[in-house]
Structure 1
Amino acid sequence: MKNIFIAGPILPEKIAESIAKHQVKTTIGAHDIFLGQVRADKVGENIVAAIEYSAYEPMVNQVIHEIREEVFAKYELSCLHIYHAIGLVKAGEICLFVFTSSKHRKMAMDATRFLVESIKAKAPIFGKEIFEDMSHQWKVNQ
């Protein structure tokens, strides 16, 4: 079972490194990538400066493992990768990175969409919105 968590934001170098590693896999014809980014939403009179993510990591990793198995059974993928930030992620930084690869684009694109929606619906990852004035509230997923 893989650990999906990365401390802090997911850096552009991590994304580039993941893409570069797949250049040697010449049976792959398509990649699809989803990047979730923290927004500076206005909530009432406050602006979100960051989100602090927390989770019971063993439980989340088990849920993600089950989602991965479901995706591999449903879609013909060469590989898939899921990374989620844990800890503080500032507005503008990446908090979720989903990367799928397959022979054809439709399969990769459909699998990515299914993965992201499944993660949002099933993985118990919690976000506390930290506002510019340092007040905070628990985020409601949409």
Structure 2
Amino acid sequence: MSKTIKNIFIEGAISPLFISESIAKHASKKDIGAHSIFLGQIREDVIDGNTVKAIEYTAYEDMALEKMNEIREEIFEKYDLTCMHVHHSLGVVNAGEICLFVFTSSKHRKMAMQACDEMVERIKAELQIWGKEIFNDESHQWKVNK
């Protein structure tokens, strides 16, 4: 039986309302003792005198989702999680807005925290997602992950 591959992509910024509703939905799950949440936010960096006003994300979606599914399965095997949710922006996300939301839940805090941290690191290192920094003067350059 093949598993459905979850689509992690959201067009534009991830709204605070979406994040709060995701958290609220877990109040009915009484076997969870801990949640760990990572929110990636666009910084208004200054690079060579130019200020970043937004990042435009693009992805090789099919390949990125396939890889995400592999990573998700590996994380569930490694950590005793109750659930995990991952959402990543595509398109333009302005400085100050959220572009990545990783939410892990487990019976105990250590598992939730370690799984969340590993998921974020693996997304940055392994998924085919690219960001183009857009500056206030409308010039742009490809972002280098740090």
Runs of 4+ more than 3 Å apart: none
- 5+ unaligned residues in a row in structure 1: which ranges? none
SS at match of 1:22: helix
Are residue 108 (structure 1) and residue 85 (structure 2) matched? no
Task: Give the corresponding residue for 1:47.
Answer: 51
Once residues 63 and 134 of structure 1 are traced to their aligned partners in structure 2, the CA distance between those partners, rounded to angstroms, is: 33
Report how far residue 89 of structure 1 moved: 0.1
Q: How many residues align?
A: 142
Indicate the percent of aligned positions where both proteins have the same amino acid: 63
- Cα deviation, 1:81-127, whole Å, max 9, x if unaligned, reads 00000000000000000000000000000000000001111001000
Once residues 48 and 70 of structure 2 are traced to their aligned partners in structure 1, the CA distance between those partners, rounded to angstroms, is: 38
Task: Give the corresponding residue for 1:117.
Answer: 121
Are residue 75 (structure 1) and residue 79 (structure 2) matched? yes
Task: Give the corresponding residue for 2:66.
Answer: 62
What is the TM-score of this pair, normalised by structure 2? 0.96
Residue from 128, 134, 140 that aligns with 2:138: 134
Alignment RMSD: 0.4
SS at match of 2:28: coil
Are residue 5 (structure 1) and residue 15 (structure 2) matched? no
Question: Which residue identity does 1:66 align to in structure 2?
Answer: E
Task: Give the corresponding residue for 2:40.
Answer: 36
Once residues 47 and 135 of structure 2 are traced to their aligned partners in structure 1, the CA distance between those partners, rounded to angstroms, is: 9
- Cα deviation, 1:40-75, whole Å, max 9, x if unaligned, reads 001001000000000011111111101100000000
* Contact 2:61/2:128 (<8 A) preserved: no
Task: Give the corresponding residue for 2:101.
Answer: 97
Once residues 61 and 13 of structure 1 are traced to their aligned partners in structure 2, the CA distance between those partners, rounded to angstroms, is: 24
What is the TM-score of this pair, normalised by structure 1? 0.99
- Cα deviation, 1:6-64, whole Å, max 9, x if unaligned, reads 00000001101110110000000000000000000010010000000000111111111
